[in-house]
């Protein structure tokens, strides 16, 4: 069974320890890791609020009309866990009674990941008029070179 600890190990390791190639690009959307047993999805964005990393928790399968939101202390507990791991929390938003919550971290993501996101935002160098919506071989290959983390062990 995948645990929150495993999800955080993988997601934070990707944000802060994974070197990205200097010829790759990646989006600000980051990676998504599921915790099915808890009905949660965690997203790790390298370039969110104030261009700093954001860890997002979502209810994976929300019920009708918000019938299964995040638990009342869930976002706070996530922030405490991130702080306990040495990551300074800048701010939080949403959380209970919503089905999503976000924690912005103070430490910037790995510089090579930040650079990869900046390359993405500049758009395709071969077809600049297509911006980030290009689908040429060069643009796809640049994205394919981005390093993704292994999935947490089940």
Distance CA 114, CA 30 (A): 11
Distance of alpha carbon 74 from alpha carbon 61, whole angstroms: 16
> How far is Cα 149 from Cα 95, in angstroms, rounded to an integer?
26
Query: What is the CB neighbour count within 10 angstroms for residue 144?
Result: 10
- The pTM score is 0.94
Where does the pLDDT of residue 57 fall: very low under 50, low under 70, confident under 90, or very high at 90 and above? Answer: very high
- Residue in 125, 130, 69 with CA at minimum distance from that of residue 101: 69
Integer Cα distance of 106 and 143 in angstroms: 26
**How are strands ordered across the β-sheet holding 40-45?**
31-35, 40-45, 54-59, 100-105, 89-94
pLDDT tens digits for range 70-118: 999 999 999 999 999 999 999 999 999 999 999 999 999 999 999 999 9
| 94 conformational bin, left if phi > 0, alpha if psi -120 to 50, beta if neither | left
Q: Centre a 10 Å sphere on the Cβ of residue 5 and count the other Cβ atoms it contains.
A: 11
Domains of the chain, residue spans: 4-144
- List, for residues 15-48, the tens digit of each pLDDT value: 999 999 999 999 999 999 999 999 999 999 999 9
């Amino acid at each position: 069974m995948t645990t929150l600890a495993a999800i955080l190990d993988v997601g934070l390791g990707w944000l802060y320890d994974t070197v990205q190639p200097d010829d790759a690009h990646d989006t600000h959307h980051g990676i998504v890791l599921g915790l099915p047993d808890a009905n949660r999805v965690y997203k790790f964005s390298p370039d969110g609020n104030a261009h700093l990393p954001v860890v997002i928790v979502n209810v994976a399968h929300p019920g009708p009309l918000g019938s299964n939101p995040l638990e009342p202390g869930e976002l706070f507990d996530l922030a405490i866990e991130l702080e306990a791991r040495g990551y300074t929390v800048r701010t939080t938003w949403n959380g209970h009674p919503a089905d999503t919550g976000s924690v912005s971290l103070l430490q910037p993501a790995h510089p090579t990941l930040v650079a990869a996101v900046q390359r993405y935002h500049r758009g395709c160098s071969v077809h600049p008029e297509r911006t980030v919506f290009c689908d040429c071989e060069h643009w796809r290959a640049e994205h394919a070179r981005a390093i993704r983390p292994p999935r947490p062990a089940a």
